[in-house]
Every structure is written in C-alpha cells, then in structure tokens.
Structure 1
Amino acid sequence: MNQQARLHALSEFLKSKRAQLQPREVGLPTGTRRRTPGLRREEIAQLAGVSSTWYTWLEQGRDIKVSKSVLDCVAAALRLTVDERKYLYALALEAGPADRLIPGEQQEISPSLKRILKELRYCPTIISDRRCSIVGWNEAAAHVFLDFQEVPPDQRNMIRLLFTRKELRRLAVNWEHFVKGFLAIFRAYYGQYVEDGWYEEFLEEMKRTDPQFGPLWEQSQVSSAPEVLLEFRHAKARKMLFHLTSLHVSGSSDLRCSIYTPAEDNTTEFKLRQLMELSGKTNEA
C-alpha cells in the first residue's frame, strides 16, 4: 500500500467510526441540528484531548506526525476494539516494509497442520494465508464448500471465491453476513501489512469483478478472529449449522485456521457423515 492509499484508508476508517458513535453513548447532548449521523469532528477532538484542527487533518488523511500516545486518546474517544486499535496504529504510524509474498508462490503447511486437518474429520477446516488464499483444507471442507483441488491454485482465494462461485453464494443463508466475516479478517491484514501493494491491487480487481464488493468492503469491520454461528443451505444436505472459530497459527508464515464445528443438538454432523460416506462409496464403485 503506497502512502496515498494508506492515508485514504486511515481517513475512511476514522470517518466510519465517528459516524457510528451517538452523542448519548459518550455523555454529550444530542442537540437538534445534526445534519450527519454520529459525532462531529470537534466532539471527537474534545473527547481525545487534542485540537480540533489536528484531528481534522488526521481524519482528512493529511501527512502529519502522530504519536502512539495521542492515537491512544483518539482510539479511546472512538471506542475502538483491540483489533480496530491495531488497525488504526498500523495505518497512522506507517509501519515498516512487510515481508512480501512472492506472486504465485504456494505456501507449504507443516506436517503437524496436515495431521490436524486429518484429525478434524467432521469439522470442515480451511487454512489460509494473510491474503485469504487457501493453502490447506480437509475432506469435510471439500464436501461442505467445494472441492478446492479443482480450483486453479492462483484462484484459491476465499474472498474471490465467495464473490465468483455461485455454489458459495447459495450456500450461506445470509451470504452478506458470511462475507463480512471474511472481509473483517481481510481488513485486519490490510492494516497490518500496509506496505504490501498487493492488497490495493486485489481490492481494485474485486471492485471491477463484482459491484457488490465495494459497498460491502466500505461497511466492513475489523476483526482478527470472529466467532459466529452460520446457517448453510447445502445443495444435498440442506440445513446445516456451524460454529466458526478462527485461530492464528503461531510462526513466521502468518497462517489462519478456520474451523467450522457442527452445532450441538443438531443433525449437521450426521448429515456431513452421510455426505462423506456416500462420496466414499461412489469413489469405490
């Protein structure tokens, strides 16, 4: 991400978070002459203990000097979460150059991760890198989502697939909710690797690919590990309920393990077992 793109991302993020705050949430009078949603710039400046001019310049994306201590005050004023604070610091403090992934290079997953994938037999599991590119999956994931082996390696990006594959659009009962979870993770990476120009290129590509992408990206939150309950309508198994748990894999590769655990007191695991057993019998025939 070049400097102009970084400052633009910072500006859009601050505007979005300010618009989401209501005066009553921070102990300010509502008033009767608010033309736009949320707080005014001068109110955020007051809450953060900084000058209105300085905060305005920050929100406008001007190239000004900032310190972590002042950003702490801004973050507190905007009621940012831990992940949102990290995102703010990464954009505002201009982190150093990130290790770049080589275009087309496929990361290898360790033998221990491969075993984990195998052991989680009835929990669809996907391992992805910091670009949301899929680098590993188990048999259950192939049955619930799609057979990633049939997707060319350079197209195995979960976000790209969610917007381009009809079977994934039909899978989630609330497709937008499903997509926003991945976009929240992607935005966290986007802030962390601010110097990797691949992200800007990918975002522009996706905006050209699908007109829904742009608005959903602008609305997306920041979360490194959302935990949600998802309802799927599988083409063969019909209703399936999964708890999504997203785990960061320690090490230098910055991999993420997304585990879809069948909901308890539900028939999801039974249906998944049937799918996999039927497929095994078909392959043997």
Structure 2
Amino acid sequence: MSHQMRLQALSAFLKARRAAISPAAAGLPEGTRRRTPGLRREEVAQLAGVSNTWYTWLEQGRDIRVSPSVLECIAAALQLNKDERSYLFALALDNGPANGIYPQEEASAITPSLQKILKELTACPTIISDRRCGIVGWNEAAAHVFLDFARLPQEERNMIRLLFVRKEFQRLAVNWEQFVRGYLSIFRAYYGQYLEDRWYDDFIAEMKEAHPEFDKLWEESRVSSAPDVVLEFRHAKAGKMLFQLTSLQVQGGADLRCSIYTPAGDSNTEQKLRQLLEHHKLS
C-alpha cells in the first residue's frame, strides 16, 4: 500500500466509524440539524481531547504527525474494539515489517494434524483459509453445505470472491449481508496487518469494479479477527440450518485461519447435516 493509499484508507475508516456511533451512545445530546448519521467531527475531537482542526485534517487523510497517545484517545472516542484499534494504529503510524517483506504463502500448508481436525469435525462444516481468505482446506461437511471446492481451480478458491460470484452462497445464506460482513471484518484485519502487500489493494479494486455491492459492504465493514456471527442457511436439500461461526487463528509458521460452523444447539441442524452426509454416502 502506498503512503497516499494508506492515508485514504485511514480517512475512509475514521469516517465510517464516526458515522456508526450515535450521539446517545457517546453520551452526547442528540441536538438538531443532523444531516448525516453518527457523530460530527467536532464531537469526536471533543471526546478525544484534540482540536477540531487537527482531527479534521486526520480524517481528511492529510499527512500530519500523530502519536500513539493521541491515537489511543481517538480509539476511545470512536469506541473501537481491539482489532479496530490495531487497524487504526497500523494505518496512522504506517506499521509494517522493517524490511517491507512478508512471508510467502504456502499452498500446501495443511499439516497432518490440521487434516485430522478437519476429518474429525464431521458435524461441523470447517474451512481453512490463508491471510488472503484463499481456501486451502475443508472437510466433507463444508463441501456439502457450501459447495465442492475441489471442483474449482485453486486460483478461484477465495472466500470473499466466492461470496459475490457464486449464486449458491447468495441463495444459501438468508442473512447474506451479515455473512459477508463477517468475512470482510476478518479480511480488513488482515489488510491492516499486511499494509505493504499490494495484492490487497489490487484485489479490493477488482472487487469494487466487478461488484458494486462489495464497495458498500466494504466501506461499512468492521475490523475483527474473530467475529461472532450466527448464520441462517436455507439449504436446497436440508432446509433451514442455523450455525454459529467460530474463527480461530492456527498456530504455526503459516498465517492460517480455521472457520468452524457449529450447528446451533437449540435447532435440529446437526441432525439434518448428518442425514445429508449419510444420504450422500448411500447415493
């Protein structure tokens, strides 16, 4: 990410987070003549204890000096979570590896232990993805609930792209936008962590051009390495299914993530899933 693109990303992030906070949530009076939702710039400056001019320049993406202590105040004023705070600091302070080099992606990074985990989670659709949300591993349950990723060329196995390109996902997820926002929040966390990887900028530009709805959801997305999402699916064969998404960082040399879709305990989702798998074995 170039210096100017980093400042533009910082500007967009600050505007989105400011718009997401109501005056009441910030302990401020509602007032009148609010043309846009959320807080005004001067209100964020007041809450953060900085001048309105300085905060305006920061939000406009101007190249100004910032300090960690002031960023802490901005993060508190905007009620950022831990991952959003890290994202703010990465953009504002241009934090990245000293040599600008990131580890190469390992296409075959699925270890035998991860393979065993995938196999044992028979009633939980599970996907292993890399830091670009590329799908590098999945279990049988995931292949039947989502789609058979083995039938896709490796370069097409990107979860973010699939959510917008494949109609199966849009038909499957009743709360599709929530489904997408969960993955975009993870993707944005990676984006802030790997600022110097130009692949992210190229990918985002490609998605914005090809899918107008991506642009809207991307600008609205939060930042979270482990979003708490409940998903309702309408499976073509199994009907209504409810899952709780648990996203785990995999320990090891490769930057991998394990996304586990656990059947909701107060539903018959697990029973339906087992029947779906059993029917496939018999057919």
TM > 0.5 between the two? Answer: yes
Determine whether 1:128 maps to 2:122.
Answer: no
Separation of aligned partners in 2, 1:11 and 1:241 = 37
Identify which range, 143-152 or 173-182, moves more after superposition: 173-182
**Residues paired across the two proteins, number:** 280
| Alignment-derived partner of residue 162 in structure 1 | 163
Separation of aligned partners in 2, 1:249 and 1:84 = 21
Separation of aligned partners in 2, 1:197 and 1:278 = 45
Separation of aligned partners in 2, 1:57 and 1:14 = 11
Structure 2: runs of 5 or more not aligned: none
| Alignment-derived partner of residue 191 in structure 2 | 190
1:98 CA displacement: 4.8
Separation of aligned partners in 2, 1:126 and 1:195 = 26
| Alignment-derived partner of residue 99 in structure 1 | 102
| Alignment-derived partner of residue 90 in structure 2 | 90
| Alignment-derived partner of residue 172 in structure 1 | 173
Pairing of 1:1-285 with structure 2 (within 5 A): 1-96=1-96, 97-101=100-104, 106-282=107-283
8 Å Cα contact 1:232-1:241 kept in structure 2:
yes
Separation of aligned partners in 2, 1:61 and 1:119 = 48
Identify which range, 144-153 or 206-215, moves more after superposition: 206-215
Question: Given the two structures, how large is their TM-score scaled by the length of structure 1?
Answer: 0.93
Separation of aligned partners in 1, 2:23 and 2:251 = 41
Question: Given the two structures, how large is their TM-score scaled by the length of structure 2?
Answer: 0.94
1:163 CA displacement: 0.7
Deviations 1:22-60 (A, max 9, x none): 333333333323333222222212221222222111111
8 Å Cα contact 1:100-1:196 kept in structure 2:
no
Deviations 1:235-261 (A, max 9, x none): 111111111111111223111100011
Q: What letter matches 2:125 in structure 1?
A: P
8 Å Cα contact 2:129-2:136 kept in structure 1:
yes
Separation of aligned partners in 1, 2:181 and 2:207 = 14
Separation of aligned partners in 2, 1:31 and 1:165 = 45
1:187 CA displacement: 0.9
Separation of aligned partners in 2, 1:165 and 1:274 = 25
Separation of aligned partners in 2, 1:251 and 1:67 = 33
8 Å Cα contact 1:95-1:195 kept in structure 2:
no
How many percent identity over aligned positions?
Answer: 69
